[in-house]
Amino acid sequence: MQKTKLVEALTGNYAAAYAVKASDVDVIAVYPITPQTTIVEKLSEFVANGELNAELIHVESEHSALSAVVGASAAGARVFTATSSQGLELAHEILHIASAMRLPIVMAVPTRALSAPISIHNDYGDVMNARDTGWIIYIAASAQEVYDTIIQAYRVAETANLPAMVAYDGFLMSHTVEPVELNDEEEVRKFLPRPLRPYTLNPKRPVTMGPLASPDWYYEFKYQQATALREAYKVVKEVDALYGEKFGRSYGVVETYRMEDADYAIVTYGGAAYGNAKAAADMARERGIAAGVVRIRLYRPFPSMDVLRALEGVKAFAVLDRAIMFGSPAEGPLYKDIATAMFMHGVDKPAVNIIHGIGQRTMYVEDMYKIYTMLKERPSKEVVFMGVRV
């Protein structure tokens, strides 16, 4: 356990910045975009004050920011960047390059709705567009978890040789102040020893990264990349357990609430949705419905068996998605992942896909309580858009 405990009142973004400082990064590439900007503002303050010995690179776009940390990581540096919404879209090309080059980059994404029309408010369309780029993807539900997960992400990324993204609710978490317990930085750095990376850019020992591949070899690279991401699941669980032993906080890959005897469940992700769903489950319990909640913390690689085990005893469940896969039979990305896992493992349960909170449209606890009543009274398989005015 760490020597002392220091608790600070921090926003989710500041929690991310403090985690990056504790992780002793070498290079940070910065470009502002709402609601991410205050992360790199705080980091620039740390660098200017001499609290963090890192190279801060000011670039002209998010595409350049991710490109800069790709180059720095390829040279062996521990790196960080952050973005949101259209910035993540602009950098999308480089997401594939970072993962294919097996670079242990860590990036924070306080999520935000995509244009058009322009919205500065929250949903998860940006991160869900990145779900198939080969990155490890976490979705945190509190400022404390943002802090802890970014530290864990460095050890996971540097063990699995894959980039990791830590996402959380833009504005609803990025700009909301919560108490955050900070670790002793010396202890964090012991938890994050610098790994030996045999393949880095070094003029004394030249190697080629990301070369032109023939059809005979391109497939082999992609197979190795897919295998590495699949195997990263074990690394995530191991690192989370080790972090819990050292610092007293761990989260697993899924979190459950009142699921021990639940007949009906809501499956969701992110801070606001999880908090409201727990309150709705309490309300449902008071009114005679055995309700529970499952929160997805690790989204990629997808924890199929953990989710199915959590839902094993329920009669029906709803998946709350804050993103839309336009034109898909299952228009929510999380719902589609769960439905696929169920099909592949021979599980058949009534499961409703709820699309909600798009562009931060308010969804109240009472609305979520109605989902439990719907599951009890009309268990079915359907897609429901909640809160839509037509």
289 inside domain? yes
CA nearest to 43, candidates 154, 53, 251, 183: 53
Same-domain pairing of 224 and 328: no
Inside any domain, residue 179: yes
The answer to whether residues 338 and 371 belong to one domain is yes
Separation of alpha carbons 151 and 165, rounded Å: 12
Q: Of 247, 274, 304, which residue constitutes the final position of a domain?
A: 247
Q: Are residues 338 and 215 in the same domain?
A: no
- The vertex-121 CA angle with 21 and 29, nearest 5°, equals 30
Q: What would you report as the CA-atom Rg of the chain, rounded to the nearest whole angstrom?
A: 21
Q: Is the same domain home to 229 and 108?
A: yes
Q: Which amino acid is at 161?
A: N
Task: Decide which of 204, 225, 247 is a domain's last residue.
Answer: 247
In this structure, the answer to whether residues 295 and 240 fall within a common structural domain is no
Query: Strands, E, within 228-290: which ranges?
Result: 254-257, 264-268
Report yes or no on 44 lying in a domain: yes
Of 187, 217, 247, which closes a domain? 247
How many domains would you assign to the chain?
2
CA distance 303 to 129: 19
Q: How far is it, in rounded angstroms, from Cα 345 to Cα 339?
A: 10
Q: For each of the chain's 390 residues, which pLDDT tens digit applies?
A: 545 689 999 999 999 999 999 999 999 999 999 999 999 999 999 999 999 999 999 999 999 999 999 999 999 999 999 999 999 999 999 999 999 999 999 999 999 999 999 999 999 999 999 999 999 999 999 999 999 999 999 999 999 999 999 999 999 999 999 999 999 999 999 999 999 888 899 888 888 887 788 998 999 999 999 999 999 999 999 999 999 999 999 999 999 999 999 999 999 999 999 999 999 999 999 999 999 999 999 999 999 999 999 999 999 999 999 999 999 988 999 999 999 999 999 999 999 999 999 999 998 999 999 999 999 998 888 889 987 765
Q: pLDDT value at position 2?
A: 47
* Cα–Cα separations (whole angstroms), residue 197 to 266, 274, 319, 322, 369: 42, 38, 40, 38, 50
Q: Do 238 and 327 fall within a single domain?
A: no
Same domain? For 238 and 262 the reply is no
The CB density around residue 50, as the number of other CB atoms within 10 Å, is 7
* Cα–Cα distance, 319 to 354 (Å, whole number): 6
User: Would you say 13 and 110 are in contact if contact means Cβ atoms under 8 Å apart?
Assistant: yes
Residue 381 lies in a domain: yes
| H-run or E-run covering 371 | helix 365-377
Do residue 178 and residue 77 come from a single domain? Answer: yes
Residue 269 sits in the same domain as residue 228: no
| Domain contains 158 | yes
CB-based burial of residue 195 (10 Å sphere; 0-12 exposed, 13-18 middle, 19+ buried)? Answer: middle
Check whether residue 124 and residue 153 sit in a common domain.
yes
Which helix (H) or strand (E) segment is 136 a member of? Answer: strand 136-139
Cβ-count burial 56-73 (b if 16+ within 10 Å, e if not): ebebeebbbbbbbbbbbb
Whether 1 is in a domain gets the answer no
- pLDDT at residue number 209: 80
Integer Cα distance of 381 and 201 in angstroms: 52
What CATH number is attached to the domain comprising 164? 3.40.50.970
The answer to whether residue 390 sits within a structural domain is no
For residues 41 and 92, state if they share a domain: yes
Residue 292 inside a domain? The answer is yes
Of residues 377, 345, 41, 96, the one with CA closest to residue 226: 96
Nearest to 77 by CA among 228, 200, 198: 200
pTM for this one? 0.96
Range of the domain at 317: 255-385
Instruction: Looking at the structure, tell me whether residues 223 and 268 fall in a common domain.
Output: no
The upper half-sphere exposure of residue 60, i.e. CA atoms within 13 Å in the direction of its Cβ, equals 0
DSSP letter for each residue of 89-104: HHTHHHHHHHHHTT--
pLDDT reported for residue 379: 84
| pLDDT attached to residue 4 | 62
Query: Buried (b) or exposed (e) across 77-90, using 16+ Cβ within 10 A?
Result: bbbbbbbbbbbbbb
Q: How far apart are CA 284 and CA 289, in angstroms?
A: 5
> Which CATH number does the domain housing residue 301 bear?
3.40.50.920
